[in-house]
Amino acid sequence: MEVRTGVYVCHCGTNIAGTVDVAAVAEYAATLPGVVVARHHEHMCSDPAQNMLKSDIRELGLNRVVVAACSPHMHEPTFRQACEAAGLNRYLFQMANIREHCSWVTADRKQATDKARALVTAAVRRVAWHQPLEAREVSVNPATLVVGGGIAGIQAALEIAAAGYQVYLVERQPSIGGHMAQFDKTFPTLDCAACILTPKLSQVAKDPHIRLFTNAEVVDVSGFVGNFRVKIRKRPRYVREERCNGCGVCWNMCPAVVVPAQRRIRKGAAVIKVSGDGHRRQVPGPSPGA
């Protein structure tokens, strides 16, 4: 099928025309391959301009449309609806942002105009490769994955859970709390960090909508928006978590506890290991000739 493109350049009042030579850009666009018509208008988002665009689609047989104007976040849906109303698939449309990306950030008029020409050229070449698409509905899984169990992740999980949605909270460390769990006071109010954090830790543990994975990491994410599949690697703790009551006896008796070198006290041919709770354990030291 022959590509028949219409190009429409917006003045946007003086937002664009105050810096860019809009007429020159439209004149240049008319010379690009596949362009059937190129026009400029004071406000492309206005009803008269959209009616002009619809009329050109019907009367000139346009099968591609490029609008050089403001941000697509603002008016791309507007122009897509206009294309659709004229019988053209809404996805055979391309927008070039010559306001935020050009006139608002380029003081020199010649440079701004040259950049606008380049952006329009790119849009014309791109839209020629567009294919008609059809919108469809798919089921969405409303569950949310929160990666990181610091104070921000905890708060996010609690608020999502409060709205009634399932939350999966993944933390790589053995416990949640992050850096805030190590603080005494918070800046700038000097509030007690534990007073803020501890109730939230309890809420996470009790909330039926939050499933907590600690000592775990996300290793793979696949799928698409609303239908993601996530693989989590959960490292072993070597304790039966369902029986753990947090007494800490296993920590004191575990032979695998690693004590930092600076906390080892040499005593003759033996080494005294000082654990985190202050208990000392004597273990064999190096031989005298070592």
d(CA 69, CA 128): 19
Determine how many CB atoms are found less than 10 A away from the CB of residue 201: 16
The CATH fold assigned to 144-239 is: FAD/NAD(P)-binding domain (3.50.50)
The CATH fold assigned to 5-127 is: Rossmann fold (3.40.50)
Q: Which residues of the chain have pLDDT under 50?
A: 262-272, 274-276, 278, 280, 283, 285-290
49, two tokens:
């301009």
**95, 96, 99, 102 alpha-carbon torsion, rounded to 10°:** 170
Q: Domain-by-domain residue ranges, the chain?
A: 5-127, 144-239, 255-284
Q: What is the pLDDT of residues 210-224, one digit of tens each?
A: 999 999 999 999 999
pLDDT for the residue numbered 240 = 81
Q: What is the pLDDT of residues 227-276, one digit of tens each?
A: 999 999 999 987 787 888 878 787 777 776 666 554 444 444 444 454 44
What residues pair up with 144 in beta bridges, in sequence order? Answer: 167
Stated pTM of the model: 0.61
Helix axis angle, 72-85 to 47-60, nearest 10°? 50
